[in-house]
Amino acid sequence: MGSAQKDEFERLSDGLQQRGIGIDEVLRAIKSQHIETPSWGYGDSGTRFKVFGAPGAARNVYEKLDDAAFIHSLTGVAPSVALHIPWDKTDDWDGLAVYAAQRGLSIGAINPNLFQDDIYKFGSLCHTDAEIRGQAVQHCLECVEIMDKTGSRDLSLWLADGTNYAGQDDIRARKRNLEAALTEIVAAMPGDRRLLIEYKFFEPAFYHTDLADWGMAANLARKLGPQAKVLVDTGHHAPGTNVEHIVAFLVDEGLLGGFHFNSRKYADDDLIVGTTNPFELFLIYNELVAAEQDSEPEVAACVRDVAYMIDQSHNVEPKLEAMLQSVLNCQSAYAKALIVDREALARRRSEHDVLGAYRVLTDAFDTDVRPLLAQARIELGLAPDPMAAFSDSPYPAQVAAERGMARGGGGGYPGA
């Protein structure tokens, strides 16, 4: 490592140690962080209006895995890839799992698609027609089989179900339909597999959404049993919602299953996590780190099992650079949460030192953690600055030349 870098790390490390923060533990945690990237972020995707093609965008699931392996090679913390069915469908799942393993990757969450087929015009698992519900359940069961073949742990479910007008449908009947359908799906899942239930307050339905918020998702998860957990997509909340409060609540109840990270300023923007709201991302990680250290074993166990996934669609920004930036933003937020002086925080809280407690958090948030992250990467045998390594790498230009512009490619997005 360069001597300037070494000096910076030592200066930061000394300062943190003076505050009683164990630098080795922090480095160990940074090195074992895990961020899952989504296959759909590598293909042409993004927005409900125009999907702009990008040179080099992955055209099929194999190219998506190649791109994910490239991001993992730069960061060391992104070794799994979420798939979307049918966008990533292949007739050789065993072969795909081997292809992933050869690149140091594993298959992450399997995401069923219950919104793009004509039969889903009025809903999927909540639909009033039992035959359509049955087809939606069958699709989820097919995804459970894919999980089995690829070694995936989580079925990650998001529903577009809802209505656009008051009176359009029977809200309670739809609720019961959903519960019955999910009961059938969970019953078909082996005990070590999980169902992650994602909620979203509106869109594409604009009057009522069948799974509108974390409370509905948590209620369902409770009824479905220990394999069902709640997935928090950071973009799926109304402006002003205190997302870190929701995270703290769910983890304390043992109900937090995973995240879909992205950045929201207005609605479900699906932009790069931590860009408009880095403090919010830090506060989310702060709750998770605090829970990791909880004396209640169930809380600590819950947070250990959380799946950290990115759910973004890059439309105008270069896709590989965008995915790299996303992982780096998660690393930065986590590192800052790890260096919160928790003893000082507990002391300030017990003294009702309102602003003192706040400043314990901002002290960590305002700390430049880049020397710490560089040190962790060096210890992982990686380049200390992944963005510089990205710029130096021939890979982006290579795939742009080889793949060219995808047309009707593997993104799966309408218009792609």
The contact set with Mn ion (CB under 5 A) reads 233, 260, 311
Closest CA to 218 of 246, 240, 187: 246
Cβ proximity to Mn ion, 218 vs 299, nearer residue: 218
d(CA 71, CA 237): 28
Q: Where are the alpha helices (DSSP H) in 253-366?
A: 278-292, 297-304, 319-338, 342-350, 354-365
Closer of 260 and 336 to Mn ion (Cβ): 260
Which amino acid would we find at residue 365? F
User: What's the min distance (Å) between Cβ of 268 and Mn ion?
Assistant: 8
Q: Cα separation of 289 and 273, whole Å?
A: 18
Query: Smaller CB distance to Mn ion: residue 150 or 312?
Result: 312
197 forms bridges with which residues in the sheet? 157, 230
For the bound state, the minimum distance from the C-beta of residue 334 to Mn ion, rounded and expressed in Å, comes to 20
Nearer to Mn ion, 314 or 377 (CB): 314
Q: How far is the CB of 349 from Mn ion (least distance, A)?
A: 33
Q: For residue 119, what are the β-bridge partners?
A: none
Question: Tokens 């919160």 appear where?
Answer: 340
* Residue pair 251/288 in contact by the 8 Å Cβ criterion: yes
Alpha-carbon gap, residue 299 to 249, rounded angstroms: 11
Least Å distance between CB 36 and Mn ion? Answer: 12
We find the least distance from the C-beta atom of residue 388 to Mn ion, in angstroms, to be 31
Q: Is 389 helix (H, G, I), strand (E, B) or coil?
A: helix
* DSSP 8-class letter at 182: H
Task: Compare residues 84 and 403 and give the one whose CB is closer to Mn ion.
Answer: 84
Give the shortest CB-259-to-Mn ion separation in angstroms: 9
The DSSP call for residue 40 is G
Minimum CB distance to Mn ion, residue 236 (Å): 7
> Per residue in 349-363, is it b (16+ CB within 10 Å) or e — as a string?
eeeeeeeebeebbeb
**Shortest-Cβ-distance residue relative to Mn ion:** 260
Q: Which helix (H) or strand (E) holds 100?
A: helix 93-102
Cβ proximity to Mn ion, 44 vs 311, nearer residue = 311
**Shortest Cβ 198–Mn ion spacing (Å):** 5
Residues facing residue 162 across a β-bridge: 209
The answer to whether 338 and 31 are in contact (CB under 8 A) is: no
Q: Which is nearer to Mn ion, 105 or 273 (CB)?
A: 273
Q: How far is it, in rounded angstroms, from Cα 325 to Cα 273? A: 9
Nearer to Mn ion, 66 or 233 (CB): 233
